[in-house]
Amino acid sequence: MECLKRRILREGRLQQGRFLSLDHFLTHRIDIDLMQQIGVEFHRRFGDCQINKILTIESSGISVACLTAVQFGVPVLVAKKSRHPENYPADFFRSKVKSYRHDTVYDILVSKRELTRDDRVLIVDDVLANGGAMSGLIDLVQISGATLVGAGIVIEKTFEPGGKLLRQRGVRVESLAKIAGVDEKGKITFEE
Amino acid sequence: MECLKRRILREGRLQQGRFLSLDHFLTHRIDIDLMQQIGVEFHRRFGDCQINKILTIESSGISVACLTAVQFGVPVLVAKKSRHPENYPADFFRSKVKSYRHDTVYDILVSKRELTRDDRVLIVDDVLANGGAMSGLIDLVQISGATLVGAGIVIEKTFEPGGKLLRQRGVRVESLAKIAGVDEKGKITFEE
Provide the CATH number for the domain around residue A8: 3.40.50.2020
Residue A98 is classified by DSSP as E
Mean pLDDT of chain A: 94
The residue among B59, B102, B111, B121 with the most chain A CBs within 10 A of its CB, best to mutate, is B59
Q: Residue A75's closest CA among B5, B27, B15?
A: B27
Cross-chain Cβ contact B111/A76 below 8 Å: no
B31 touching chain A per CB within 8 A:
yes
- Ordered per-residue pLDDT tens for chain B, 192 residues: 999 999 999 998 877 766 788 999 999 999 999 999 999 999 999 999 999 999 999 999 999 999 999 999 999 999 999 888 888 888 999 999 988 877 899 999 999 999 999 999 999 999 999 999 999 999 999 999 999 999 999 999 999 999 999 999 999 999 999 999 998 888 999 998
pLDDT digits (tens, 9 = 90+) for A145-188: 999 999 999 999 999 999 999 999 999 999 999 999 988 888 99
| Backbone dihedral angles phi then psi of residue B29, each to the nearest 5 degrees | -100, 125
The amino acid present at A109, given as its one-letter code, is: L
Interchain pair B70, A113: CB under 8 A: no
Whether A45 has its CB under 8 Å from any CB of chain B: the answer is no
DSSP state, A149? E
Dihedral angle over CA of A26, A29, A30, A33, nearest 10: -110
Tally of CB atoms within 10 A around A102: 8
Residue B129 is classified by DSSP as S
Residues 56-115 of A with CB under 8 A from B: 58-60, 62-63, 65-67, 69-70, 73-78, 80, 110-111, 113-114
CB spacing of B62 vs A62 below 8 angstroms: yes
Structural Rg of chain B based on CA atoms: 16
Q: Other C-beta atoms within 10 Å of A8: how many?
A: 19
Q: Considering the entire predicted model, what is its pTM?
A: 0.96
Q: Across the interface, do B78 and A24 touch by the CB < 8 Å criterion?
A: no
Domain of B96?
2-190
Work out how many domains chain A is built from and give that number: 1
ipTM passes above 0.90: yes
* Residue of A11, A14, A24, A32 to mutate for B, most B C-beta atoms under 10 A: A32
pLDDT value at position A153? Answer: 98
For the cut 70, the answer to whether the pLDDT of residue A17 exceeds it is: no
Measured CA to CA in angstroms, residue A152 lies from A26, A115, A148, A189 at distances of: 15, 18, 11, 21
Amino acid identity at A123: I
